[in-house]
Structure 1
Amino acid sequence: MTTWLLTGCSTGLGRALAEAVLERGESAVVTARDPGTVRDLADAYPERALALPLDVTDPEQVAAAVREAEARFGGIDVLVNNAGYGYRAAVEEGEDEAVQRLFATNLFGAVAMVKAVLPGMRARRSGAVVNISSIGAMVCPPGSGYYAASKAALEGISSSLRKELQPLGIAVVAVEPGGFRTDFSGRSLTQAATPIADYAETAGKRRKENDTVHGTQPGDPARAAQAIITAVTSPEPPAMLVLGSDALTAYAAVLDAQRAELEAWRGLSASTDFPS
């Protein structure tokens, strides 16, 4: 039986994925900063679900969660790094302490979880790591520079990690969701306290008080959960899984623009070599 350890399961995609895993008859370690928010899952599946407190920025809680998961189920087959949140600010508006907290959760917390589960996966020569990123890492909207950077860094680590672990039988999948009907644009979204007027027409348009997308996103978290399960359990999991028609359109547009710019500047780029 496959055992999943999922971070950030209180709401949204993390909860939808935990529910889908349990409905499939598999085991799930469901975690949240407040374990009371996932207690109902453990109560509904007492034999196959374990609810644990987990703040991914707390090394002791990370170690304890992995230790308890392995003690209960014998090992962790799939790690899903879903814990994270958004932060909106023009780059100049970004508050140092807030940015450090963002990276501590979105990037370094995920890395801590990976490092904690890998010894067991390497010993078994099997497993999968799923890192939840965002289409924001690709499109980098104004006002989301710090959030996009935290997710782009996670994708960079995922790419190298995949190459390191592939010979050991361990898969790594980065997931780029588009807009899904979760709490991300509501409770899970923070922003700089003091806006700068000069950015009103760029970053300012994406401040929470000016954002009208919450509750109208096209993506269904339950369908996203099924897509992730399909990808992870496939014979050859993808390095990158883009979720949502909006994300597909945006991703393709960025790739096209990058290719066009690469070709436009090809001559200058190549001119920097020593003469042959």
Structure 2
Amino acid sequence: MTWLITGASRGLGRHLALQLAQRGHRVLACARDADRLQTLAAESGGAVVPVVIDLADATQIGPRLGEALAREAHISGVVNNAGFGAYKPFLEHSEAESIQLVQVNLTAAIQVCHAVLPRLLAQRSGHIVNVGSDLARRPLANMAVYAAAKHGLAGFSHSLLREVKQAGVKVSLVNSGIVDTDFGGAAEGSRDAHWSLRPAQLAQLIIQLIEQPGNVVVDELSVHPLGQDF
């Protein structure tokens, strides 16, 4: 089984790629950091195939994914995991930064789905997992553009599911709370486990989600650390 994962060079994407590789899957790992992808490929024993792509550049996504997908006989699904955010007032975002936030957190996921979905429909099977945020379901000051993108991803995911499920394709949205990664400029491992999820734990939950029986789809999953303040 072959999975495509975006944002695979670090954090949740890296843990997910390694766990899928350990379970015998092949992983097309997408990120812009070629060196980190090569290290990941070596750690996986060759099960991970690097796909160097900068999701902030909308012009790269279709052509580079097309090349990578053309080499695969079957695609099991895709995990749109890439994302970034900045905690600061809206007016402190430049226009360019706001555009980039929407591109990486929302538009890139739509572009990835556009590239992969024809294969899944032709197979009449496959699973799209979009990693969102609990900010899609609750307000938080100083995260307006990021929250808007994640609200958009939630709407896209639920609408797409209703469009493609009769063809055997599943779409799931995973809304997580605080995760102990380098999101927002932090360092992975710097956050207390009581109020932040371990990325390896969240990766395990996503694997459980995609391993549900064929007649079951989890359309939305919300998961938080027990100590997170809502």
Is the structural similarity TM-score above 0.5?
Answer: yes
Letter in 2 for 1:237: V
Quick check: which one's helix share is greater?
Answer: 1
Q: Percent identity?
A: 34
What are structure 1's unaligned runs of at least 5 residues? 189-212, 251-276
How many positions carry a matched residue from both structures?
225
1:54: Cα distance to partner?
Answer: 1.1
1:145: Cα distance to partner?
Answer: 1.3
1:187: Cα distance to partner?
Answer: 5.3
Change (3 A) 1:43 1:93: closer
Describe the superposition over 1:40-62 as per-residue Cα deviations: whole angstroms up to 9, x where unpaired. 22224455321110112334532
User: Structure 1 residue aligned with 2:197, among 183, 206, 219?
Assistant: 219
| Alpha-carbon distance in 2 for matches of 1:61, 1:233 | 31
1:223: Cα distance to partner?
Answer: 1.1
CA contact 1:242–1:248 (8 Å) conserved in 2? no
Change (3 A) 1:246 1:65: farther
Larger deviation, residues 58-67 vs 45-54: 58-67
Query: What residue number does 2:62 align with?
Result: 63
Helix, strand or coil at the partner of 1:171: strand
| Mapping of residues 97-116 of structure 1, within 5 Å | 97-116=96-115
Change (3 A) 1:185 1:60: closer
Query: What residue number does 2:39 align with?
Result: 40
Change (3 A) 1:23 1:143: same
Q: Does 1:233 align with 2:211?
A: yes
Q: Does 1:6 align with 2:5?
A: yes
- Report the aligned-residue RMSD: 2.2
1:179: Cα distance to partner?
Answer: 1.1
Describe the superposition over 1:163-192 as per-residue Cα deviations: whole angstroms up to 9, x where unpaired. 00111111001111111111113259xxxx
Helix, strand or coil at the partner of 2:137: helix
Query: What residue number does 1:27 align with?
Result: 26
The TM-score normalised by the length of structure 2 is 0.89
CA contact 1:178–1:246 (8 Å) conserved in 2? no
Query: What residue number does 2:17 align with?
Result: 18
| Mapping of residues 69-148 of structure 1, within 5 Å | 69-148=68-147
1:92: Cα distance to partner?
Answer: 3.9
1:96: Cα distance to partner?
Answer: 1.8
The TM-score normalised by the length of structure 1 is 0.75
| Alpha-carbon distance in 2 for matches of 1:30, 1:245 | 27
Helix, strand or coil at the partner of 1:16: helix
What are structure 2's unaligned runs of at least 5 residues? none
| Alpha-carbon distance in 2 for matches of 1:242, 1:141 | 17
Describe the superposition over 1:80-129 as per-residue Cα deviations: whole angstroms up to 9, x where unpaired. 11111002232344322211111011111111000000111111011111
Change (3 A) 1:100 1:60: closer
CA contact 1:4–1:76 (8 Å) conserved in 2? yes
